[in-house]
Structure 1
Amino acid sequence: MKKLLKMVMLGVAVTMSAQAMAAGDINAGKQKAAVCAACHGTDGNSLSDAFPKLAGQNAGYLEKQLANFKSGERQNALMAPMVANLSEQDMADLAAYFASKKMAPGAVSEDLVEAGEKIFRAGNKETGVPACMACHGPNGNGVPAAKWPKLSSQYSTYVEAQLHAFAKGERANDPNGMMRDVASKMSEAEIKAVSAYVFGLK
């Protein structure tokens, strides 16, 4: 519990000390988002679970991810060329636009509800996995001020892939290694269950 509290406090401190980003313009973002539609859908609700839903995601988180893709802090062969020429204002506009849309609801398999809810709400004390809701909120809506993402209704396939990437260290743009630490302690069954569970959260 102390370690989790320390991680949360460090994350908030990093956020509060970060430079304020440019304010995004939703209308400008809508125009710029046309190129994103092929993978993420016109309103940020991608039609394929290979691509994350961006609709309704916290603007600060989206802006951070775009900046991380551009800097190379977050590696992705598809996203790198897409963000290469984006300015800070472009990123802010895109983030504002997608944040303004509503994420389409998902559903969870009944056989994974109980196991997924247990990890999400209570974690696993034996292995040191903290409750996901400690950082992502009781309904999975994230913490905008800390740029921690909304997980509710996000495709389970995408969430699972990100947890695996964190666990393997392939994704390393998490503040203070928080997600790498958490994911590395999760079993395959826990990853599948919690990924399925958040897809059904509204």
Structure 2
Amino acid sequence: MTRAEFGYMLGENTKSPHGYPSMNIRLSIACLATVLGVAAAPPALAADNAERVRQVAGSAADFEKASQAGKKAAFFCVNCHGEDGNSAYDYIPNLAGQNAVYLLNQIEKFADGRRQDEFMSGLIKVLKPEDRFNMALYYSGETVKTAVVKDSKQVAHGQQIYERACKSCHGAQGYGNEKIARLAGQQPVYLKKALEDYRASVKLRKDPIMGSIARRLKDADIDALAAYIPTMK
């Protein structure tokens, strides 16, 4: 994704779908927190994040500098989300190609407690605000790897549902925007679990719009969406 393509997104994460981190990772985070101190920045306003992202993205040199710094700051993220933001696990979300503003706002929510995750919350709080900002820019500039169509009939069904239920908010190409997550190229099991949680109004997946849409979906519809969306480019 290029700097000009900041109209993109990712599905919102909540409770860890991937279980618990290894003891080595837990200990490493604990050590980092001891050495660096927990950087608890005040809640960042979405408008401030958007303006700063646009400012840095307006300069190729500034964007490259921030991205490289973000890549270094994201060394712990590699364990789950992959070195380039493409997860090696179908139940862990891709971060590559995500809208930088959207992603930064989600990272800040983990930092200030508006979003909770046993693993993510502790890790994000260790990072300095500048590191979090640079990480969002880094991942936004990476290219998401889309899935190959395996079942054309199911994918076609998923496309039909997407056109009716998802397109108006997430966009025709699934790129979303600064306030709505990019879906295109997202991991299938992660998508399925998210939709199931919205349908069941699981605590951290409560959203009136998403809940209303998800409750109209049958299991086969969710499976079809989870098959189609990862193939969107």
TM-score range, shorter chain: 0.7 to 0.9
- Provide Cα deviations, 1:155-174, integer angstroms capped at 9, x if missing partner: 11111111122223335477
- Per the alignment, residue 107 of structure 2 pairs with 66
Q: Which residue, out of 100, 105, 129, partners 2:146?
A: 105
Residues 1:83 and 1:171: Cα distance change in structure 2 (over 3 Å): farther
Bigger RCO (CA 8 Å, 6+ sep): 2
1:163 maps onto 2:204 in alignment: no
Residues 1:139 and 1:118: Cα distance change in structure 2 (over 3 Å): same
Q: Which residue, out of 33, 43, 57, partners 2:98?
A: 57
Matched residue pairs, number? 175
- Equivalent positions of 1:130-149 (< 5 A) are 131-144=165-178, 147-149=179-181
Normalised by the size of structure 1, how large is the TM-score?
0.77
For residues 45 and 188 of structure 1, the distance between their equivalents in structure 2, rounded to whole angstroms, comes to: 26
- Per the alignment, residue 185 of structure 2 pairs with 153
For residues 56 and 112 of structure 1, the distance between their equivalents in structure 2, rounded to whole angstroms, comes to: 25
Normalised by the size of structure 2, how large is the TM-score?
0.68
Deviation at 1:185, TM superposition (A): 2.8
SS for the counterpart of 1:84 is helix
1:177 maps onto 2:208 in alignment: yes
- Equivalent positions of 1:85-96 (< 5 A) are 85-96=126-137
CA contact (8 A) 1:172 1:180 kept: no
For structure 1, the 5+ residue unaligned runs are 1-16, 123-130
Give the 4+ runs in structure 1 shifted more than 6 A.
none
- Provide Cα deviations, 1:42-64, integer angstroms capped at 9, x if missing partner: 11111111211111111112112
Question: % of aligned pairs identical?
Answer: 33
Larger radius of gyration: 2
